[in-house]
């Protein structure tokens, strides 16, 4: 027998079936219900904005990696996820060039300049949204649409508070992917069932917001169902690179996000605080991770 | 008792040969006996080229200190004494024997006289028995632990690696030998408690061992979850006795002797017959093997002959493993012999053998979440790449048993456990140089 065909590689010689790509694919699948809901609620433009964001994220990642002579990693689908999440965080009336600008910020500035997937410390979609919120304050808070039923300001920014059922189904003003609580919860349950994320961050995040708003005399259910809270708690506060991997780290992260969200919503100048809260906690992530690291079994402290 | 279950991974068991009663392979065309099939000093050849050899005859006597003797499993003539490259990649003196096919048994084979602890330990030493779990630690050293320190014998019947069923067959076919060997060990180590730990995916073994140990006081057969790496020494001690073996400690330091079930059976067989360790039951399986089976094979048989005995390859093999898929070593060629501690030879086709491409770490934390010892493998990789000895010391990488769970669960398919192994070596160098500098 010819020995040269024998492969010598390090153990283990079997690997789990999932990969970075299948995990990202699961996230995309989990985002589909919200995308469908957004198209129904806001019309076709919701789909167009999301598609433009996805395309510009993927293309800018490909171009940047080609320019830097790095391995092209668009196949891992993470840029698609970033694009979808950014699109979901924009109002449906956003000018498309602004959406493209935001995508480039997310991929090039926030992700690739720090070394690409896994190396960024801040969530690309969230950071890009915050940049856009400051750069294009007008169009980022213009929630008027051709659909009269939802062409109002978001409930949090002083619009009339719709019924709880309308809030749950997403029939109110807001960013493209954030309004339909039902669709986001379906996506979240799917991700937990597929073990892509654990329940800790989303449950603690939303729970903290409800608890704090209750304590401050506001309606906790309205706070849970409005703004980008659910979208942020399920899809952005659970990003691997930018949040703690440990169980207790996730709990602290979720609680911190919840507390800051309420502080901004109730006492701050912005009607909505989820993005800022997650971004702030992203910065604390390395510390939270090192506080909550498990102790090695049988480790002996050095004398 | 243990309060928490240690982490691990659920693997596809692939115990295809669990029902395959071991068959004895005829005499190989050539017997290759490396003088190092154990941890410690290599054995020293006591034969010359041209010598007539009989079955059970001493070929290599134990070297100084930690060592083990090596015997011939065939009768024939010593063809050459040579050096080969071992599975571990080191050069090792090797005696090559040309069998005559007659299998004449040496007249020296008589059951050893065992009446006290010293005679028992000497018998185990001269039996050539080493830990058959895979590490090949000379068993006599394990059993030489201070009697006052040991209170429990833990028999390892976990066999948590996929595919391998040689221990399974021992527990089904040789259950009475396991019980007999265990009784001997308990007698001479003066312990009255023993636990036989078996993964619950082997109900036949559990039943068989329960039946065999019926009436033995202090022996418990414990069914453990089938969670890799259940058979890791520290994991097994934790899950059976709830004791934590700390950094730098041996099982004896927490009052336990951990010993593989096939090793226990081999001790009983030797005490009964006097035939030393000259053959081994090996599982031959994998997607490229025509007829997977369990084979009792003379130690020293070249892997290729063993595979030919199992119908050869049914397709072009791409990877041959010495051991299980989680911790086994990929063989560079098929002239390597079966050793004492070989429990499986697996051959895989192109589809199963090609390693996935690794990509960047996405910091999902799965490696840390699945580490049985709660290490943080991705931090260890980082410290290793930075050459940071102090960070490696803090990371406790020296606790790593190299089970491979971290690499298995990694979605980016990074070779994390390989980095851990390199990091352990780096840490040793760092500590040696630090000690040297301090003086």
Omega cis (within 30) before B229? yes
CB atoms within 10 A of CB B385: 11
Pairing of β B58-61 and β B70-71: antiparallel
Q: Is A70 on the interface with B (CB under 8 A)?
A: no
Of all residues in chain A, what percent carry a pLDDT higher than 90? 76
Determine what percent of chain A falls in helix, strand and coil, rounding each to the nearest 5.
65, 0, 35
How far apart are the C-alpha atoms of B131 and B138, rounded to whole Å? 6
Calculate how close chain B gets to A200, using CA atoms only, in Å.
14
Specify if A123 maps to a domain: yes
Residues A90-125: tens digit of each pLDDT = 999 999 999 999 999 999 999 999 999 999 999 999
Of all residues in chain A, what percent carry a pLDDT higher than 70? 93
Q: Is A217 on the interface with B (CB under 8 A)?
A: no
In chain B, whose CA is at the least distance from the CA of A239?
Answer: B364
Q: Is B316 on the interface with A (CB under 8 A)?
A: yes
Calculate how close chain B gets to A120, using CA atoms only, in Å.
10
| Mean pLDDT value across residues B331-355 | 91
Whether A233 and A206 have beta carbons less than 8 Å apart is answered as yes
Residues B240-257: tens digit of each pLDDT = 999 999 988 999 999 999
The pLDDT value recorded for residue B248 is: 87
pLDDT classification of A193: cutoffs 50, 70, 90:
very high
Q: How many domains does chain A have?
A: 1
3-state secondary structure of B97: strand
From B313, B329, B368, residue closest to A245, measured CB to CB: B368
Contact A245 B364 (CB under 8 A): yes
Calculate how close chain B gets to A26, using CA atoms only, in Å.
13
Mean pLDDT of chain B: 92
Calculate how close chain A gets to B65, using CA atoms only, in Å.
29
Closest CA to A112 of A75, A61, A71: A61
Residues A77-86: tens digit of each pLDDT = 999 999 999 9
Mutation for A interface: B359, B383, B402, B414, most A CBs within 10 A:
B359
The pLDDT value recorded for residue B439 is: 44
| Mean pLDDT value across residues B180-209 | 95
The pLDDT value recorded for residue B437 is: 58
From B318, B330, B376, residue closest to A293, measured CB to CB: B376
How far apart are the C-alpha atoms of B395 and B388, rounded to whole Å? 11
| Mean pLDDT value across residues A6-11 | 90
Angle formed by the axes of helices A78-88 and A96-104, nearest 10°: 140
CB atoms within 10 A of CB A270: 13
In chain B, whose CA is at the least distance from the CA of A115?
Answer: B360
The pLDDT value recorded for residue A272 is: 80
Query: Minimum mean pLDDT among A160-174, B55-69, B154-168: which range?
Result: A160-174
Query: Minimum mean pLDDT among A157-166, B111-120, B357-366: which range?
Result: A157-166
| Cα–Cα distances in angstroms (integers) from residue B322 to residues A10, A15, A146, B380, in the given order | 12, 18, 68, 27
The alpha carbon of residue A120 and the mean position of all alpha carbons in its chain are separated, in whole angstroms, by 14
Q: Is B93 on the interface with A (CB under 8 A)?
A: no
Specify if A297 maps to a domain: no
How far apart are the C-alpha atoms of A126 and A124, rounded to whole Å? 6
pLDDT classification of A76: cutoffs 50, 70, 90:
very high
Residues A120-150: tens digit of each pLDDT = 999 999 999 999 999 998 888 888 665 554 5
Domains of chain B, first to last: 117-273 (3.40.50.11540), 366-438 (no CATH)
Specify if A299 maps to a domain: no
ipTM score of the complex?
Answer: 0.90
3-state secondary structure of B1: coil
The pLDDT value recorded for residue B135 is: 78
Contact B374 A7 (CB under 8 A): no
The alpha carbon of residue B55 and the mean position of all alpha carbons in its chain are separated, in whole angstroms, by 24
What is the domain range of residue A283? 20-290
Q: Is A14 on the interface with B (CB under 8 A)?
A: yes
**DSSP H/E element including B93:** strand B91-99
Give A-chain residues touching B326 at CB under 8 angstroms: 11-14
The pLDDT value recorded for residue B354 is: 86
**DSSP H/E element including A64:** helix A44-67
Most confident range, picked from A21-35, A166-180, B74-88, B386-400? A21-35
Strand order in the sheet with B52-53: B31-34, B91-99, B76-85, B52-53
pLDDT classification of B90: cutoffs 50, 70, 90:
confident
| Burial (CB count within 10 angstroms: exposed 0-12, middle 13-18, buried 19+), residue B306 | buried
Contact A7 B354 (CB under 8 A): yes
Task: Tell me: pLDDT of B4 over 50.
Answer: yes
Give B-chain residues touching A15 at CB under 8 angstroms: 355-356, 407-408, 410, 413
Q: Is A123 on the interface with B (CB under 8 A)?
A: no
| Mean pLDDT value across residues A266-283 | 90
In chain A, whose CA is at the least distance from the CA of B363?
Answer: A241
How far apart are the C-alpha atoms of B322 and B325, rounded to whole Å? 9
- Half-sphere exposure at residue A266, Cβ-oriented, CA atoms within 13 angstroms: 19
Contact A13 B348 (CB under 8 A): yes
From B304, B316, B328, residue closest to A11, measured CB to CB: B328
Radius of gyration for chain B, computed over Cα atoms and rounded to the nearest angstrom: 22
The pLDDT value recorded for residue A153 is: 56
| Cα–Cα distances in angstroms (integers) from residue B5 to residues A184, A300, B235, B374, in the given order | 34, 20, 9, 12
pLDDT classification of A159: cutoffs 50, 70, 90:
low
Q: Is B207 on the interface with A (CB under 8 A)?
A: no
CATH number at residue A222: 1.10.3430
Residues B25-78: tens digit of each pLDDT = 989 999 999 999 998 999 999 999 999 999 999 999 999 888 999 999 999 999
From B12, B238, B399, residue closest to A299, measured CB to CB: B399
In chain B, whose CA is at the least distance from the CA of A5?
Answer: B318
Residues A219-257: tens digit of each pLDDT = 999 999 988 999 999 999 999 999 999 999 999 999 999
The separation between the first and the last C-alpha atoms of chain B, rounded to the nearest angstrom, is 44
Is the pTM value of this prediction over 0.95?
no
Instruction: Tell me the count of A-B CB pairs closer than 8 A.
Output: 156
The pLDDT value recorded for residue B1 is: 47
Task: Tell me: pLDDT of B271 over 70.
Answer: yes
Mutation for B interface: A3, A12, A61, A120, most B CBs within 10 A:
A12
Query: In B178-330, at which residue ranges do the beta strands (DSSP E only) sit?
Result: 193-199, 219-224, 256-260, 279-285, 293-298, 319-322, 329-330
Mean pLDDT of chain A: 91
From A13, A16, A296, residue closest to B373, measured CB to CB: A296
pLDDT classification of B416: cutoffs 50, 70, 90:
very high
What are the backbone dihedrals phi and psi of residue A27, each rounded to the nearest 5 degrees, phi first? -65, -40
Mutation for A interface: B363, B369, B380, most A CBs within 10 A:
B363
Q: Is A138 on the interface with B (CB under 8 A)?
A: no
Give A-chain residues touching B6 at CB under 8 angstroms: 297
Whether A247 and A200 have beta carbons less than 8 Å apart is answered as yes
Dihedral, A286, A288, A291, A296 alpha carbons, nearest 10:
-70
Residues B215-227: tens digit of each pLDDT = 899 999 999 999 9
Question: Token pair 């418990």 is at which residue?
Answer: B220
In chain B, whose CA is at the least distance from the CA of A22?
Answer: B411
3-state secondary structure of B138: strand
How far apart are the C-alpha atoms of B343 and B132, rounded to whole Å? 7
What are the start-end ranges of the H helices in B232-327? 233-241, 261-273, 303-309
| Mean pLDDT value across residues B181-193 | 94
The pLDDT value recorded for residue B3 is: 59
The pLDDT value recorded for residue A227 is: 86
The pLDDT value recorded for residue A4 is: 64
Dihedral, A240, A243, A244, A248 alpha carbons, nearest 10:
-110
Question: Token pair 């030393």 is at which residue?
Answer: B276
The pLDDT value recorded for residue B333 is: 86
Residues B276-331: tens digit of each pLDDT = 999 999 999 999 999 999 999 999 999 999 999 999 999 999 999 999 999 999 99
Query: Minimum mean pLDDT among A20-24, A297-301, B199-203, B420-424: which range?
Result: A297-301
Give A-chain residues touching B11 at CB under 8 angstroms: 14
């Amino acid at each position: 027998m010819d020995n040269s065909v024998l492969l010598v590689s390090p153990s283990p010689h079997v690997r789990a079936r999932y990969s970075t790509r299948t995990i990202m694919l699961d996230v995309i699948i989990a985002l589909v219900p919200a995308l469908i809901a957004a198209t129904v609620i806001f019309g076709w433009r919701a789909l167009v904005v999301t598609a433009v964001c996805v395309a510009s994220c993927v293309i800018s990642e490909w171009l940047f990696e080609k320019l830097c002579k790095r391995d092209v990693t668009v196949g891992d689908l993470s840029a698609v996820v970033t694009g979808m999440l950014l699109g979901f965080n924009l109002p449906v009336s956003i000018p498309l060039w602004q959406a493209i600008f935001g995508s480039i910020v997310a991929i090039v500035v926030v992700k690739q300049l720090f070394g690409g997937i896994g190396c960024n410390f801040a969530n690309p979609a969230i950071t890009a949204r915050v940049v856009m919120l400051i750069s294009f304050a007008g169009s980022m808070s213009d929630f008027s649409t051709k659909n009269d039923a939802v062409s109002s300001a978001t409930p949090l920014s002083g619009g009339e508070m719709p019924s709880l059922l309308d809030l749950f189904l997403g029939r109110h003003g807001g960013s493209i992917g954030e309004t339909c609580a039902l669709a986001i919860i379906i996506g979240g349950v799917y991700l937990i069932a597929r073990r892509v994320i654990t329940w800790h961050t989303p449950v603690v995040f939303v729970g903290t917001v409800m608890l704090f708003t209750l304590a401050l005399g506001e309606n906790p259910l309205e706070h849970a169902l409005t703004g980008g809270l659910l979208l942020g708690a399920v899809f952005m506060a659970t990003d691997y690179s930018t949040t703690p991997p440990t169980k207790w780290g996730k709990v602290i992260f979720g609680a911190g996000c919840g507390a800051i969200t309420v502080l901004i919503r109730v006492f701050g100048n912005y009607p909505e605080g989820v993005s800022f809260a997650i971004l702030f906690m992203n910065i604390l992530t390395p510390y939270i991770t090192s506080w909550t690291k498990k102790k090695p079994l049988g480790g002996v402290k050095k004398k | 008792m243990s309060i928490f279950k240690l982490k691990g991974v659920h693997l596809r068991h692939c115990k295809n040969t669990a029902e395959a009663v071991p068959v004895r392979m005829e005499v190989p065309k050539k017997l290759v006996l490396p003088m190092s099939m154990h941890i410690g000093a290599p054995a020293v050849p006591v034969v010359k080229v041209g010598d007539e050899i009989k079955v059970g005859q001493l070929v290599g006597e134990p070297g100084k200190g930690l060592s083990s003797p090596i015997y011939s499993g065939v009768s024939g003539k010593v063809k050459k004494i040579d050096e080969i490259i071992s599975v571990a990649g080191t050069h090792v003196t090797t005696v090559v024997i040309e069998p005559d096919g007659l299998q004449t048994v040496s007249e020296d084979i008589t059951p050893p006289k065992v009446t006290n602890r010293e005679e028992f330990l000497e018998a185990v030493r001269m039996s050539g028995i080493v830990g058959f779990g895979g590490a090949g630690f000379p068993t006599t050293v394990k059993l030489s632990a201070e009697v006052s320190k040991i209170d429990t014998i833990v028999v390892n019947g976990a066999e948590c690696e996929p595919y391998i069923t040689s221990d399974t067959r021992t527990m089904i076919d040789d259950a009475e030998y396991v019980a007999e060997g265990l009784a001997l060990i308990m007698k001479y180590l003066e312990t009255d408690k023993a636990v036989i730990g078996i993964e619950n995916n082997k109900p036949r073994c559990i039943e068989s061992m329960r039946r065999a140990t019926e009436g033995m006081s202090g022996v418990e057969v414990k069914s453990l979850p089938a969670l890799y790496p259940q058979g890791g020494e520290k994991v097994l001690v934790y899950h059976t006795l709830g004791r934590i073996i700390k950094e730098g400690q041996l099982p004896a330091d927490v009052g336990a002797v951990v010993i593989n079930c096939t090793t226990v059976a081999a001790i009983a067989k030797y005490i009964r017959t006097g035939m030393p360790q000259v053959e081994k039951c090996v599982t031959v399986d994998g997607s490229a093997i025509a007829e997977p089976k369990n084979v009792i094979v003379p130690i020293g048989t070249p892997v290729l002959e063993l595979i030919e005995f199992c119908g050869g390859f049914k397709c072009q093999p791409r990877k041959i493993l010495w051991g299980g898929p989680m911790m086994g070593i990929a063989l560079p060629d098929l002239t390597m012999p079966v050793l004492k501690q070989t429990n499986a030879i697996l051959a895989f086709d192109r589809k199963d053998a090609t390693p996935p491409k690794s990509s960047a770490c996405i910091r999902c934390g799965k490696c840390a979440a699945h580490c049985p010892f709660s290490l943080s493998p991705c931090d260890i990789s980082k410290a290793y790449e930075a050459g940071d000895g102090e960070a490696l010391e803090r990371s406790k990488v020296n606790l790593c048993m190299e089970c491979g769970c971290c690499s298995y669960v990694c979605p980016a398919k990074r070779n994390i456990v390989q980095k851990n192994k390199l990091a352990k070596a780096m840490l040793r160098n760092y500590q040696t140089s630090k000690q040297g500098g301090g003086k």
